[in-house]
Amino acid sequence: MDLDSLVASLARSDNQTAYENLKLLEAESARSNAVYRYFDTFIEMLDHDNSYVRTRAIILISANAKWDTDYKIDENITRLLRHIEDVKPITARQCIQRLPELAKHKPELREDVLTALRKVHKREYAGSMQPLIHKDIALAIKRIESYTD
């Protein structure tokens, strides 16, 4: 598996290929720390104009939390948590839904994550997204609070 090519494709406009490669990278992240070496790239992707790219970054940051012995998530937690209220509701939902996984592997950040979830300003999203986001927040808080060290 050519990780360089897979990671490079994440910010390209071919969303189908990027999604397929995201799934491959996510699966590899579950097996080994091989993808962790691209962590700085994922952090940079959090600021991308394209919400799909931001979402891919959030997914891979969370998937690699268990390998984060360099405390890169700790250094960038504020940058990550701001996507709880991303302008795009799908990105916000993905962020919220991935936070329990991150908190499971980063117990030192649990309070920061819980505080951010509880302080959500209730951004107004169109249509049916608003109640879904509120449910996601409640579920994420419940899951994080259930973790014990």
- Which pLDDT band, with edges at 50, 70 and 90, does 22 fall under? very high
Are 77 and 118 within 8 A, CB to CB? no
Q: What percent of the chain has pLDDT over 70?
A: 97
What pLDDT, in 10s, does the model give residues 71-115?
999 999 999 999 999 999 999 999 999 999 999 999 999 999 999
Nearest-angstrom CA–CA distance, 18 and 117: 29
Average pLDDT, the chain: 95
What pLDDT, in 10s, does the model give residues 115-142?
999 998 776 777 788 889 999 999 999 9
Residue entry with tokens 């969370």: 62
Are 68 and 39 within 8 A, CB to CB? yes
Structure tokens, 108:
């030192």
Structure tokens, 22:
């995201």
Are 61 and 102 within 8 A, CB to CB? yes
What secondary structure letter does DSSP report for 78? Answer: H
Q: How far apart are the first and last CA of the chain?
A: 35
Q: What is the CATH number of domain 3-146?
A: 1.25.10.10
Instruction: Provide the residue ranges of all domains of the chain, joining segments of one domain with +.
Output: 3-146
Are 107 and 76 within 8 A, CB to CB? no
Nearest to 27 by CA among 39, 38, 16, 35: 35
